[in-house]
């Protein structure tokens, strides 16, 4: 299955961001991609509320329904599954940071509300977002079981292992990976590690806003980086994620069979 990772720099204009998602999905479909993965905060960036008088909760209430309807329409129009993230109204003081997975017919396959909030490196996401408690989430796209991962989640090996326990053979990572000392190295190391330890594909997309690194990439089940982007503000990669590579990896490196401690989803 051909899979694309698309990186861009969303603004506080949710409609404009959706237009970029549509244009990049059209490009991905033209390249033969059956799935395109977009970053965390594709709807609006987390600091959108700082550029106006509207709290993030109200932005979520206002824009999430149109965002979700938009990506379902885009997926159906171009016959390509779409994974993208935004802020979903929770009905409480803080919104959810939610990844939506939509199939090529426009059906919503699943919603994953971020479980691990980024309270690290002198930042507190929990002051802006309500933690989700209904994950992990795995959806079926084409021949793959796709596990949904949101940024900081990738630092928790038990989380991605739980997705693999649920059958995931491809991890879709939507991120707003913030720049900083060693952060680029952490990103690459963690993505490769999650692929190697789970012998699965990892397709990762990150924002390219001024505070984020971009560097979207595709890693195969033996940890080989098959494609990678740099800091380009708007760019896309397309790889052929084949099941044979998973079968070969799990034959020569049977770590999942050789385990002695099993950690499943809670």
Catalytic, 179? Answer: no
Query: What residues in the chain have per-residue pLDDT under 50?
Result: none
Give the HSE-up count for residue 195: Cα atoms under 13 Å, Cβ half-sphere: 27
- pTM score above 0.85: yes
What's the confidence (pLDDT) of residue 41? Answer: 97
**Which one, of 9, 92, 99, 15, lies nearest residue 47 by Cα?**
9
Q: What is the pLDDT of residues 38-89, one digit of tens each?
A: 999 999 998 886 555 678 999 999 999 999 999 999 999 999 999 999 999 9
d(CA 66, CA 90): 16
* Stretch (H or E) spanning 64: helix 56-78
Q: What is the pLDDT of residues 85-106, one digit of tens each?
A: 999 999 999 999 999 999 999 9
* Stretch (H or E) spanning 226: strand 225-228
Catalytic, 40? Answer: yes
Catalytic, 200? Answer: no
Peptide bond into 136 cis (omega under 30): yes
Of 41, 151, 165, 200, the active-site residue reads 151
What's the confidence (pLDDT) of residue 135? Answer: 84
What's the confidence (pLDDT) of residue 178? Answer: 96
Beta bridge partners of 6: 236
Of 2, 88, 114, 212, the active-site residue reads 114
Per-residue tokens: 2:
């051909």
């Amino acid at each position: 299955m051909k899979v694309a990772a698309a990186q861009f720099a969303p603004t506080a204009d949710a409609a404009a961001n959706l237009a970029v998602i549509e244009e990049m999905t059209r490009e991905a479909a033209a390249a033969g991609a059956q799935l395109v993965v977009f970053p965390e905060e594709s709807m609006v960036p987390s600091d959108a509320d700082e550029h106006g008088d509207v709290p993030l909760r109200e932005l979520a209430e206002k824009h999430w329904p149109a965002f979700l309807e938009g990506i379902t329409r885009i997926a159906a129009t171009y016959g390509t599954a779409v994974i993208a993230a935004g802020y979903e109204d929770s009905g409480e003081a803080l919104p959810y940071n939610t990844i939506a997975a939509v199939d090529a017919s426009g059906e919503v396959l699943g919603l994953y509300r971020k479980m691990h909030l980024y309270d690290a490196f002198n930042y507190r996401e929990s002051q802006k977002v309500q933690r989700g408690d209904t994950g992990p989430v795995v959806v079926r796209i084409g021949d793959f079981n796709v596990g949904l991962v949101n940024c900081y989640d990738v630092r928790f090996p038990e989380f991605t292992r739980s997705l693999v326990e649920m059958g995931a053979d491809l991890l879709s990572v939507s991120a707003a990976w913030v720049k900083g000392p060693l952060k680029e190295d952490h990103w690459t190391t963690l993505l490769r590690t999650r692929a190697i330890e789970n012998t699965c594909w990892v397709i990762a997309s990150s924002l390219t806003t001024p505070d984020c690194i971009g560097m979207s990439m595709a890693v195969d089940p033996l940890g080989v980086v098959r494609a990678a982007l740099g800091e380009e503000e708007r760019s896309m990669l397309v790889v052929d994620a084949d099941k044979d590579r998973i079968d070969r990896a799990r034959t020569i490196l049977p770590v999942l069979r050789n385990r002695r401690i099993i950690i499943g989803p809670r």
